[in-house]
Amino acid sequence: MSALRIEIYQQHSIAPDDSRLALFCRRLAPGTLVVLPEYTLSAFFTDLRGLSSKQILLDQSRQLESLESLSQRYALHFIAPIITAGKKRLYKQIAHITPESSFYYMQQRLIGYEHWNEVEYFANPQPKRLSTPAIFRLGGCKIAMMFGFEIHFDELWCKLRAQGVDIVIMPCANTFDSAARWRELCKMRAFLNGCAIVRANRVGEVQVDGHTWRFYGDSLIAMPNGEILDHLGDTQERLSITLHREQITQMAREWGFREVFDI
């Protein structure tokens, strides 16, 4: 039976060479996929604006080196939101770090609200026609990775369903009073696309223009039957779970919304 061990490491922030993360990784089985929430390897978006690009990239380089070292030492895989550079501009990406190499997915749809305008800050292209998010195979499963904000765009999910994706890994930084809405979104997308969704959300608080933004955690696993398999609370904690491809595909076949089941 195909099985994938997943560890959601729900945190507020992780410093380079964080001893807690190193100790945590030492205890994991080789081949485990460790998922980090959005804006845990860097300052939150609103705080990034007060830092120089040089300082941001120096910090991110150290974070990547640290994760690559842990990946190689303990034979782990990481899904980690990261900030990169090109042509003197900053880009928002997800890194899939393996013991052999690293791969990246660039966010295709950024938040563009007045109070949270990533479109204006980052240089990510905003294509009219969206591409299929990054897909890889691990533990017998076909896995895609995308940012939480991209859950709202039907075109991306049509592409993932056409590819027969089993699991979607989704780092998030959800705040305000959106917990109930995000639960329903994850359940609905998992149900209609015949896949499991692993949502890793940030915790902690930031001050923005005199207001407190609270990130509430509730990292979770949503299954193709539209149910939440497991979830975390609102503090720094972790969730350990093993997903079996056979269980995912059985649920997806029962409801019939997904047609591709290749491996």
**Which pLDDT band, with edges at 50, 70 and 90, does 125 fall under?**
very high
pTM: 0.97
Mean pLDDT of the chain: 96
pLDDT at 176 over 80: yes
Supply 134's token pair: 């990054």
More confident residue, 86 or 198: 198
Distance CA 91, CA 57 (A): 10
User: What's the pLDDT tens digit per position in 151-174?
Assistant: 999 999 999 999 999 999 999 999
**Which pLDDT band, with edges at 50, 70 and 90, does 1 fall under?**
confident
Q: Which CATH number fits domain 3-255: 3.30.930.10, 3.40.50.1950, 1.10.3720.10, 3.60.110.10?
A: 3.60.110.10
User: What's the pLDDT tens digit per position in 202-256?
Assistant: 999 999 999 999 999 999 999 999 999 999 999 999 999 999 999 999 999 999 9
The fraction of the chain above a pLDDT of 70, given in percent, is: 100
